[in-house]
Amino acid sequence: MARAKKLFTIGYEQTPAKSVLDELEAAGVKLLVDVRAVASSRRPGFSKNQLAAGLDERGISYLHLRGLGTPKSGREAARSGQFGVLHKIYAAHLKTAQAKEELDELSALVKKSGPVCILCYERDHAHCHRQWIAEIIEHRDGVKIENLAARQV
């Protein structure tokens, strides 16, 4: 019986870029899929171009699937601690054509690529939309989810 493919997830909150890159490399990740709506960050090394360059140096590919990011209203709800509201907003967002298309794309990549990891800001996967994405792919494709946590400094 073939082993189930893994889908990794990681958040970079309170973590330096080097620690995240080290964790991805140690896990054998070959493709990092950025699921932030806005792929910019005040944290050094996590804006789209910086992140892609750091990954490339380690032989890891980068893809930004903006349509899987949380809409602005959902990010505002999360910042104010309204996680029930966030869940409703994101559930509705996942029904959009762009989100459905990008979920299909992610699903195909997980099936055919080397180990894939999805990235967002929130350190705790239980409080992040990337966990919902991972669970959809898990149920759809029978993959196993492994949540990575880079060393904080």
Mean pLDDT for 90-103 is 97
Rounded CA separation 77/81 (Å): 6
Query: 7-65 pLDDT, tens per residue?
Result: 999 999 999 999 999 999 999 999 999 999 999 999 999 999 999 999 999 999 999 99
With 70 as the cut, is the pLDDT of residue 2 above it?
no
Domains with residue ranges and CATH for the chain: 17-146 (3.90.190)
- What is the phi/psi pair of residue 37, to 5°? -65, -40
> pLDDT value at position 114?
79
One DSSP character per residue, 97-130 reads HHHHHHHHHHHHHHHHSSSEEEEES-SSGGGSHH
pTM for the predicted model, two decimal places? 0.93
With 50 as the cut, is the pLDDT of residue 76 above it?
yes
3-state secondary structure of 43: coil
Q: Provide the residue type at 149 as one letter.
A: A
17 Rama sector, left if φ>0, alpha if ψ -120 to 50, beta otherwise: alpha
**Tokens 């309204």 -> residue:** 82
> pLDDT value at position 4?
66
